[in-house]
Homo-oligomer: A and B are copies of this chain.
Amino acid sequence: MVAETQNGRETDGALGEWLADELLRRILSGEVPVGSWIRHAAVAEEFGVSRTPVREALRVLHAQGVVTITPNRGARVNGHSGRDIRELGAVRGELEGLAAELAAGLIDDDQLRRLNSAWDRYDRAVDAHQAADPEADPAGVTEAARLWAEANEDFHGVILEAAASHQLSLTIAEISRRLPRNSAFAAYAGNSRLLRQNSAEHRQIAEAINAGDAARARRAMTRHVRSSAEALARWVENQGQSRDR
C-alpha cells in the first residue's frame, strides 16, 4: 500500500508539483470521486512523503478550481452542475473556435496529416466501439472507448498546436482541469448517436481547415464544443436525479 516511494517518478526536485499532477489525474479519471474529502495524512502515506508537499499540491489544485479547501476542514473534490458545464462549454467553445480559426491559416503539412489521422482513428474507434459493445460493459472503459478518447484528444490537440498560441493553449488547459473526463467518457460511451454526431462534426471541422476556410472552421468548432457540453450537461443532470451526492 505504501510501496511506491520511487516508481520512476522523475520529480526534478518538485515533489509538490508532481503530487498535484498525480492527484489531478486521479480526479479527472474518476478514481477519486466528486465530493469526497482528500486527507493530508492518507495521501502522504500512500505516496510515502510527508504532509508538507501534499498541502502544497492541494493548494495548487484549489487555485486551479479542482478542489475546494475549507479552512480547518480540508479539501474536497469539486463537482459541476449542468449549468457550470454549459458555461464551460460556452467558454471553451469560444477559445477552441479561435484555435480552429487560427489553425486554418497556419496549419502545416505534417499537422494536417495528423489531423486527418486523428479524425480517421476516431471514426474507426467509434465503429469498433459500437460493434463490440452490446451493453456488455456498463462501466464504458472498453479498449475501443479508450481509443476514441485518445483520438479525440489528438484531434483537438493538433488544432491547438497549429494555432501556435501559447497563451491560448494555457487557457484551454486551465479550463480542461475543471471538467472530470470520466463524466464525458461515461456520457458518450452509452450513446452511439452522440458519438456519430461528434464524428460528423469533426469531419466538418477538418474539412474547413483543410480548405483553409477560417470562418467556417471557427463556426463548426464552436458549435461542436457547445453541443458536446450540452450533451454532457444533460447526462450529468440525469445522473444527479438517481445518485446522492
Contact = CB atoms under 8 A, between A and B. Distances in A.
Interface of A: 12-14, 16-17, 20, 52, 55-56, 59-60, 62-65, 69, 71-72, 84, 87-88, 90-91, 94-95, 97-98, 165-168, 170-171, 174-175, 178
B65 A63 contact: no
Contacts of A175: 167, 171
A73 to B, nearest CB: 10
29 contacts: A13-B71, A13-B72, A14-B69, A16-B59, A17-B69, A52-B52, A55-B56, A56-B56, A56-B59, A60-B60, A63-B63, A84-B166, A84-B167, A87-B165, A87-B168, A90-B98, A90-B165, A90-B168, A91-B95, A91-B98, A91-B167, A91-B168, A94-B94, A94-B95, A94-B97, A94-B98, A167-B175, A171-B174, A174-B174
Contacts of A56: 55-56, 59
Given A13-B71, A174-B174, A167 B60 contact: no
Contacts of A59: 16-17, 56, 59-60
A142 B202 CA distance: 53
Q: How many monomers of this chain does the complex have?
A: 2
